[in-house]
Amino acid sequence: MTALGNVKLKPGDTIGILGGGQLGRMLAMAAARLGLKCQVFSPDPDSPAFDVVLNATCAEYADVEALELFANDVDVITYEFENVPAATAMVLAARRPVLPAQKILETTQDRLIEKNFVKRLGIDTADFADVSSVETLQSAIARIALPAVIKTRRFGYDGKGQAIVREGDDPSRIWEELGTKSAILEAFVPFEREISVIAARSADGHVECYDVTENEHRDHILKFSRVPAAISDELAGQARAVAERIAHALDYVGVLAVELFVVAGNGGPRVLVNEIAPRVHNSGHWTLDGASISQFEQHIRAIAGWPLGKPVRHGQVTMTNLIGDDILDYEQWLTVPGATVHLYGKGAPRPGRKMGHVTEVTPANSK
């Protein structure tokens, strides 16, 4: 049991995880490896994370009584998704430490607040404008050259809640189709590549970043991650420094992911921050098999008040997501030499659903 101050778990203590998807599942397995127990809270009775923990709570996030009982059972609480309702976080935080802290959710749940936060740190992003009506959309289009991307401020993921705005498009129609009252318009970024940095920060302010990952999306969903990214050491250093700065500014405890664009600049390529995910991230799944310590373990260590690890990468790594029907090929993947297959224990392979992933490591000496 922990007080509401600094967390310092002992082996055998229990971590509460909000959310029962594959991220919660992999967090729970990482905790188990460290001798820590987990209890998962999720409204979905078929939650993949339920399969790997002794105790599960199946209840709605608005169920205050269930939240209180859950909090009483655990020593510290974390989450696998950034859209934890504020009221949920508040009920839990009154009883147990919630890490990363609730104020971080407020920043990262809203694209406008997040972008302004990043900008205030002096870190570059794509040009963006607040959009709350057809009129503000029109003036945003006038300021930001088209094509541009309109995104809902909240609850977007995997390309949901966004649309490209092109020359000649009708702003009223776009606004109507987006069906929101709060959005941002972002300049379309002609990026050379997409990269991400997975950073862990402990309560005492120590930060460990993994090597920069290069990401390839298909239909707005991550398909491949490769590490190291094919960028210069200098640019990789800049990307890691950005993630570190963000982690410090948020007074973050746990693992976060910063997604960045690499764009052409006058003095060579430079990075723009695209998005912050206050959680373990799909582009960090390669760390499970490609490094001595995974992002999931780093997150658990951070929220447990344990020292972060110094992960050593085993070589060049490629992570391939198994999305929807990709899962039907699992037997072929099982036979690929050096490939490590992860299946998430989900039921039906709906289109766009992340069903598993595969990691392939090429040893360091063949780099």
Find the part of the chain contacting a copy of itself (CB under 8 A) among 71-79, 86-94, 96-104, 329-337. 329-337
On whether 234 is known to bind a ligand per the annotation, the reply is no
Per CB under 8 A, the segment of 60-68, 73-81, 178-186, 325-333 that binds a copy of itself is 325-333
**DSSP string across 185-249:** EEE----SEEEEEEEEE-TTS-EEEPPPEEEEEETTEEEEEEES-SS-HHHHHHHHHHHHHHHHH
| Among positions 32, 58, 66, 101, the unique one binding a copy of itself when judged by CB under 8 A | 32
* Stretch near a copy of itself under the rule CB under 8 A, chosen from 34-42, 73-81, 150-158, 274-282: 34-42
Q: Is 114 annotated as a binding residue?
A: no
Question: Position of tokens 């289009």?
Answer: 141
Binding of residue 52 to a copy of itself (CB under 8 A): yes
By beta-carbon proximity to a copy of itself, the closer residue of 128 and 306 is: 306
Contacts with a copy of itself by CB under 8 A: the residue count is 53
106 has binding-site annotation = no
Q: Is 348 a residue that touches a copy of itself (CB under 8 A)?
A: no
Report whether 79 belongs to an annotated binding site: no
| Overall residue count recorded for the chain in this entry | 367
Confirm or reject binding of residue 363 to a copy of itself (CB under 8 A): yes
Q: Which residue lies nearer to a copy of itself by CB, 164 or 334?
A: 334
Q: Are 202 and 308 in contact (CB under 8 A)?
A: yes
Residue 125 DSSP one-character state: B
The reply on whether position 284 binds a copy of itself by CB under 8 A is no
CB of 131 to a copy of itself, least distance (A): 42
Chain positions 143 to 182 lying near a copy of itself, rule: CB under 8 A, are none
- What is the token pair recorded at 299? 């997150």
Contact status, residue 57 vs residue 66, Cβ threshold 8 Å: yes
Encoding tokens for residue 352? 């766009």
- 34 forms part of the interface with a copy of itself (CB under 8 A): yes
Classify burial at 290, counting beta carbons within 10 Å of its beta carbon; exposed 0-12, middle 13-18, buried 19 or more: buried
- Distance in angstroms (rounded) separating the CA atoms of residues 296 and 303: 11
Q: What is the DSSP letter of 153?
A: S
126-130 contacts, C-beta under 8 A, 24 or more apart: 126/186, 126/187, 126/188, 126/189, 126/261, 126/272, 126/274, 127/186, 127/187, 128/184, 128/185, 128/186, 128/187, 129/184, 129/185, 130/182, 130/184
Q: Is 188 assigned to a binding site?
A: yes
265 binding a copy of itself? (CB under 8 A): no
Q: Tell me if 317 contacts a copy of itself by CB under 8 A.
A: no
Residue of 15, 23, 24, 37 that binds a copy of itself (CB under 8 A): 37
Pair 184, 130: CB distance under 8 Å: yes
- The residue (of 40 and 250) whose beta carbon lies closer to a copy of itself is 40
According to the binding rule CB under 8 A, does residue 331 interact with a copy of itself? yes
For residues 285 to 304, the per-residue mask of contacts with a copy of itself, x marking binding by CB under 8 A and - elsewhere, is ----x--xx-------x---
Beta bridge partners of 61: none
The binding site for a copy of itself (CB under 8 A) comprises: 11-12, 25, 28-29, 32-37, 50-54, 56, 289, 292-293, 301, 306-307, 309-312, 314-315, 327, 330-331, 334-347, 356, 359, 361, 363-365, 367
Binding residues for ATP: 111, 151, 156-162, 186-189, 194, 217, 274-275
